[in-house]
Amino acid sequence: MLLHTIKEVREKRQEWKGLKVGLVPTMGALHAGHLSLIKKAKETCDKVIVSVFVNPIQFGPAEDFDKYPRTLEKDYELCTKEGVDIVFAPSPNEMYGAGQKLSNDTLTYVCPPFFYVNKLCGKTRTGHFDGVCTVVLKLFNIAQPDFAFFGQKDAQQAVIIKKMVKDLNVPVEVIQCPIVREESGLALSSRNKYLTEEGRKEALVLSKILNNIKSCYKKGITDIDALKETAYGFLNEKHDLEYLEILNKNTLEEQEKADDDSIALIACRVENVRLIDNMYLGG
């Protein structure tokens, strides 16, 4: 069932008293990565809600909010095939109120701690994680799920959401699901749609760098700078590297040496499309 209003979702949730409800928050343009979250939710829960909402307050002024792919009809079809109970696709007015100025002058925001935000994607995407936490907490309050499903693809986001849930005593269990990749190694992303055929090939640089770091770690290299330096052999003028970091996967803290709790994270522009990827070094 496709619902657009908070009231309708609340009413359905009331009917589902006593059942295990799962929420999969998305921005739509669903691909196999999203579907893996939905499948996990179906396995874990009695009822599954997928939200499809391109959240204006998590995009910076120079980012791709307007051109972000919107494919609700197809998304709804895919969700129906997966047995999703509710696709919740609100408008920005429904979520934030008609006429509401979307700024932290006038709107209550959830602001995750600076330590988690002032690195990786948060460094260049000012306010992004405030927007993410705000909308996710709103979705939690609207859908009141028992479980919520997030992808490791957005590793910093998953850590920050878990921290928000812990710090604010939100009664939701966060389940993190592994990254789904194309056979080529390219992590699935709605933004891959912006790439040309040539760009998709160039975009393999992210997973190649991460795989190489992992195999160097497995061979015994634990010096973080040495591991990061192995990336340079893969980069050329078609790749605009934004960051490459190796951190603790749970806390995003810097480490003296890489270990089995390390995660390598990369952001790189290809054809001016900002792509992110990451890989656990242990396991």
What does R_g of the chain's alpha carbons equal in angstroms? 19
Among 12, 13, 36, 267, binds ligand AMP (CB under 6 A): 36
Q: Could you confirm whether 4 is annotated as catalytic?
A: no
Q: Answer yes or no: are the C-beta atoms of 59 and 92 closer than 8 Å.
A: no
Contact between 190 and ligand AMP per CB under 6 A: yes
| CA–CA distance, 98 with 201 (Å, rounded to integer) | 43
* Spatial CA neighbour of 154 closest among 130, 129, 186: 129
* Spatial CA neighbour of 135 closest among 166, 92, 75, 177: 92
CB of 130 to ligand AMP, least distance (A): 16
Cα–Cα–Cα angle for 154, 185, 237, rounded to 5 degrees: 85
Token code pair at residue 205: 């640089």
Residue type at position 176: Q
| CA–CA distance, 65 with 131 (Å, rounded to integer) | 13
Cα-Cα-Cα-Cα dihedral of 164, 146, 131, 156, to 10°? 60
The catalytically annotated residue of 31, 34, 128, 239 is 34
**Could you give the string, one character per residue 143-162, with x where binding to ligand AMP holds by CB under 6 A and - elsewhere?**
-------xx-xx--------
Residues 40-79, interacting with ligand AMP (CB under 6 A): none
Kindly indicate which of the ranges 31-39, 64-72, 80-88, 136-144 contains the residues binding ligand AMP, using the contact rule CB under 6 A: 31-39
Token code pair at residue 91: 């408008």
Task: Indicate the residue among 47 and 153 with the shorter CB distance to ligand AMP.
Answer: 153
Task: Indicate the residue among 179 and 209 with the shorter CB distance to ligand AMP.
Answer: 179
Token code pair at residue 20: 């295990």
CB of 229 to ligand AMP, least distance (A): 27
Task: Indicate the residue among 177 and 275 with the shorter CB distance to ligand AMP.
Answer: 177
Contact between 279 and ligand AMP per CB under 6 A: no
Among 9, 179, 252, 266, binds ligand AMP (CB under 6 A): 179
* Interface residue list for ligand AMP (CB under 6 A): 26-27, 33-34, 36-37, 150-151, 153-154, 177, 179-180, 187-190
Instruction: Write out the catalytic residue numbers.
Output: 34
